[in-house]
Amino acid sequence: MLLLSTITHQHLDLTSFHGDILKVLSWGYLKSIIKDKTCLSNIITIANACFDLGHWPNHFKNSMTIVIPKPNKMSYDSLKSFRFIVLLNMLGKLIKKVISDRLQFHVISNNFIYQSQLGGLKFKSTTDAGIVLTHFIHIGWIKNMSASFLAFDIAQFFLLLNHHLLALILGKVGFDP
């Protein structure tokens, strides 16, 4: 369950999201709305209902893609000359951000993630990854070993997961179903 203090102005960081032209509700309005305790309580009720029912409403899934031409291109006859931005429902993005923050907190606080995991976590950066990589290389050199590494992008990995099995595993380690 979410607590009233769970949704904060930190979740409404304007630098990390684009405006939602699909709906009238923007981040500015949403910031004003959550200042009212009754409105905030209703938003939390919606979020908790999503958790309890295990359902993410289609309203939160609807998106719109806008196409923005990249500046200073000699020709605009190629897709590489454009930037595509997907705009989602603001309330859905807020609830999703809170879910993400809470899951990350519980996963880290219960030591479910290996300490050297750097990707996809708050307060971890590519600089941190570079420092760790450099450290491992130097340890190898000290031991007169050669060092190499393999990097790959697993951005689409989550889509391939068996989500039912993941829910069972999370339930076994103490998360509510």
Which residue type, as a one-letter code, is found at position 113? I
> Under a CB-based contact definition with an 8 Å cutoff, are residues 97 and 91 in contact?
no
Confirm whether 49 is domain-assigned. no
State the residue range of the domain holding 175: 114-177
9 inside domain: no
Residue 81 within a domain: no
Whether 123 is in a domain gets the answer yes
84 has a pLDDT exceeding 80? yes
User: What is the total count of domains within the chain?
Assistant: 1
Closest CA to 11 of 85, 104, 84: 104
Distance between CA atoms of 18 and 85, rounded to whole angstroms? 8
Residue 6: pLDDT band by 50, 70, 90 thresholds? low
Return the structure tokens found at 29.
Answer: 């309005």
- pTM of the predicted structure, to 2 decimals: 0.55
Residue 173 Cα distances to 45, 104, 165, 167, angstroms: 26, 15, 13, 10
Q: Is residue 20 part of a domain?
A: no
Please answer whether residues 86 and 63 qualify as being in contact, where contact means their C-beta atoms are separated by less than 8 angstroms. Answer: yes
Residue 38's pLDDT is 92
Indicate whether 61 belongs to any domain: no
Q: According to the model, what pLDDT value does residue 143 have? A: 94
Name every residue whose Cβ is closer than 8 Å to that of residue 101 and which is 6 or more positions away in sequence: 11, 122
Residue 149, in any domain of the structure: yes
